[in-house]
Amino acid sequence: MKVYRSLAEFNTLECAVATTGTFDGVHLGHQKIVNQLVQTARKVGGESVLLTFDPHPRVILQPDVELKLLSSIEEKIELLEKTGLDHLIIHPFSKEFSRTPSLEFVREILVNTIGVKHLVIGYDHHFGRNREGSFEHLKEFGPIYGFEVQEISALDVESVNVSSTKIRQALHRGDVGLAADYLGHPFTLSGTVIQGDQIGRTIGFPTANIGLDFARKLVPSDGVYLGFLHIDGQTFKAMANIGRRPTVGATQRSVEVHILNFDGDLYGKRICFEVSKKHREVYHFNTLEDLKRQLAKDRDAAQTELA
C-alpha cells in the first residue's frame, strides 16, 4: 500500500476504484467498503484508492466540541495496510477545503486528480461543502464524468448498525468486548513508555506508563483491564489500570500496564496494549498492602482469563 500525505503527491490513475471518508477505527462497516473496493479493482483491472483526511473534519468544523477518536493516523494506516488496499491518500483538512462544492469535489478531485472510474461509497455518505453531496448527486454526476457508483448498504451486527459513535459509547462504558465486536479487531492503546512515580515497583508490581501517541485518542472508562502487550514483536499477558489511582492520590488519568512474566527496562520504547476485557472498577484502598493483595488477585485472574 502506497501512502500519500496530500492529493498533490498523487499521480492520476487510468482506472481508479475509489472511496472517501474519515474511516475512524476502520470498523466492520469500513472494512466491508474497503473489501468491496479492493474486489472491484481486481475485477475491472484497476487500482483501489482511499481518500481520507487529517485532522478529522469535525476537529476543524466544530472546534468547541472535544472529539475523541478511535484511531490515530498511524493506527489507521496499520489497519488499512491489512486490507489489500493499493493507495491511501491522507489529505490535510482545512476550513478552505471544507468549502469545496460537491460538483468541484467530484470533477477536480475524484475525476481529474484521482482518475476515478468506479466509486464505492458507504451507506448515507455525504461530501462537499455543508455535506451537500449525496448518493443521488453521484448517480447524476457519474454518466457526465464517466464513472460508475456503487453504494454499500448499512452493515448490521446483531441488528445494530455499526458506527464509530456506537463504538465510542461502548468504550465510554468500559465495554471493550462489544467495541471489539463492532471494530472487527481489538481496541488498542499505543504510545511511548514514560517516567511514572514508580510506586508499583515498591510493592512488586512495576508498571509501564504509556504516554499515548495521539492527544485525541479515546481512552476507555476508568477500570482495571486485562489484555496483551506488544513489545518489539513479542506479546505478553498484561493488566492495566486505566484512569485515576485514588490509593496513591493520583487524580490525573493515565494508562499504566503491569506485564506478566516480564523483567526489563521499557523506558522510551513504543508499546501497544491490546485491551481484551474490563476486569473490575478502580477501588480506593486504605493501605498499599491492601492494594498489593488485590493486585495479586488481579494477576491470577489475568493468568487464567488470558490463557
User: What is 187-305's CATH number, 2.40.30.30, 2.60.40.10, 2.40.50.140, 2.30.30.40?
Assistant: 2.40.30.30
Average pLDDT, integer, range 57-68? 92
Residues 59-75 have a mean pLDDT of 93
Q: Tell me whether strands 16-20 and 47-54 are parallel, antiparallel or unpaired.
A: parallel
Omega within 30 of 0 (cis) for the link into 55: yes
Q: How confident is the model at residue 154 (pLDDT cuts 50, 70, 90)?
A: low
Checking if the pLDDT of 181 tops 60, the result is yes
Q: Could you give the CA distance from residue 110 to residue 248 in angstroms, rounded to a whole number?
A: 55
CATH number of 2-160: 3.40.50.620
**Is the per-residue pLDDT at 159 higher than 70?**
no
Q: Judge contact between 194 and 245, C-beta under 8 A.
A: no
Domain parsing of the chain, residue ranges = 2-160, 187-305
Distance CA 207, CA 202 (A): 11
pLDDT tens profile 2-20 = 999 999 999 999 999 999 9
- More confident call, 124 vs 292: 292
| Mean pLDDT, range 138-155, rounded to an integer | 87
3-state class (DSSP) for residue 2: strand
Mean pLDDT to the nearest integer, 246-265: 82
Can you tell me the distance from the alpha carbon of 148 to that of 142, in angstroms, rounded to the nearest whole number? 6
Alpha carbon 27 to its chain's center: 8
Please determine, for residue 163, whether its predicted confidence score (pLDDT) is greater than 90: no
pLDDT (0 to 100) of residue 121: 86
- pTM exceeds cut of 0.85: yes
The neighbouring-strand residues paired with 210 are 193
pLDDT at 197: 67
Rounded distance between C-alpha atoms, residue 193 and residue 213, angstroms: 10
What per-residue confidence (pLDDT) applies to 136?
83
135 pLDDT higher than 70: yes
Rounded to whole angstroms, the Cα distance separating 73 from 135 reads 27
Which pLDDT tens digit goes with each residue over 204-235?
788 999 999 899 999 999 999 999 999 999 99
